[in-house]
Structure 1
Amino acid sequence: MSYEACELADLARAFVPIGESELNPDGTNRSPGTVLVDAARVVAAAERFFEAAAVFERMSGVDWQLIGDVLEVSPRAARVRFAMAEAVLRELLSSERGPVAGETEQLRAYMAREPLEMAFDLDDWVLRHEDGDSDLGTTPVSGGLAGRAP
């Protein structure tokens, strides 16, 4: 879930600055359609984060009723929406299956098998983006995982 939040944040942050080379003299976009393509990537990342949050809750023992209540849908609709993602993660955690096709699937398999290593990478990301408003310590992600079973 933290990884998906990191990806979403990085994609969204890229929209904040606007370079002069990106704009026509009248302030319109020099490359029509590119902003929409990038926005679609942000929406897709938000969907992945949303799915990861639901799976995180399920892995924490939350039942479909609560997930449905939070999303204002029936427990069945919540299960239909997220059960496959939960099943995929549980399979990754329980199997020693070989390489998975596709870079994204390989990364997710790695994250499932090496959560602490990924957490260290996310520690670095959080600390690079820390705004000084809170004391996150030196292990803002991995600190919560230390000593826990996968």
Structure 2
Amino acid sequence: MTERDAEATAPCTDAARARLVTAYEACELADLARTAVPIGEHELNPDGTPRAPGAVLADAARVLAAAQRFLEAAVVFERVGGADWQLVGDVLDVSPRTARVRFAMSEAAFREELLPSEGTGSGGAAGEASSLRAHMVREPLETALDLDDWVLRHEDGDSDLGTAPVSGGLVQRDPRRRTGKPS
């Protein structure tokens, strides 16, 4: 294996993995928000009232929940990157203690996802979401390539993002450090 091959297969840094989860959550948020823009041909009654009361509200609640997941992922990324609770609190205009209470469990869950899998999984929607996030953390390149495709499909043409707008920015661990070789 050449040094270049080793670099290509080296696992991403924890911060790069956290940023990838943030990118995924942003993608999900954007897709949910985008679906709320069109007004379906048969969505409204002739008087302009909704044919399916509560449907738009339910869409808005899903967007809000996705925005919360995006915020949590962003906080985890900043924390894994070295930010202290003071910085997080300052940015969110809350006390450091409030920031820690609100987001420490999200950070702990992410750090747990970095650990080797024990093969135990939980069922239900929460288990599926956790399983997906764990997959993103353990297989970052696959997720990054999927996000590359998403970004390129949604590009407006007003920026030159290149062919790897997500995967190209991921920082990988130095493979020599993992094997104990001096850097």
Shorter chain as denominator, the TM-score bin is over 0.9
Is structure 2 residue 48 aligned with structure 1 residue 27?
Answer: yes
Q: Which residue of 2 aligns with 1:90?
A: 111
Is structure 2 residue 109 aligned with structure 1 residue 109?
Answer: no
Letter in 2 for 1:55: V
1:124-135 correspondence to structure 2 within 5 Å: 124-135=149-160
Is structure 2 residue 140 aligned with structure 1 residue 119?
Answer: no
Is structure 2 residue 138 aligned with structure 1 residue 138?
Answer: no
Deviation at 1:23, TM superposition (A): 1.1
Q: Which residue of 2 aligns with 1:65?
A: 86
* Structure possessing the higher radius of gyration over alpha carbons: 2
Deviation at 1:36, TM superposition (A): 0.6
Q: Which residue of 2 aligns with 1:148?
A: 172
Stretches of structure 2 lacking an aligned partner (at least 5 in a row): 1-21, 175-183
Q: After superposition, give the CA deviation of every residue in 1:53-76 in whole Å (9 maximum; x if it has no partner).
A: 000101111111111111111111
Comparing 129-138 and 98-107, the one that deviates more: 98-107
CA contact (8 A) 1:64 1:79 kept: yes
Q: Which residue of 1 aligns with 2:68?
A: 47
Q: Which residue of 1 aligns with 2:13?
A: none
Residues of 2 paired with 1:91 and 1:149: CA distance?
19
Q: How many residues align?
A: 149
Residues of 2 paired with 1:111 and 1:3: CA distance?
9
Q: Which residue of 2 aligns with 1:74?
A: 95
Stretches of structure 1 lacking an aligned partner (at least 5 in a row): none
Comparing 97-106 and 85-94, the one that deviates more: 97-106
TM-score by length of 1: 0.95
Identity in percent? 72
Letter in 1 for 2:173: A
Q: After superposition, give the CA deviation of every residue in 1:88-127 in whole Å (9 maximum; x if it has no partner).
A: 1111112322242221111011011011110100000000
Residues of 2 paired with 1:149 and 1:82: CA distance?
26
Runs of 4+ aligned residues of structure 1 deviating over 3 Å after TM superposition are: none
TM-score by length of 2: 0.78
Q: Which has the higher contact order (CA 8 A, sep 6+)?
A: 2
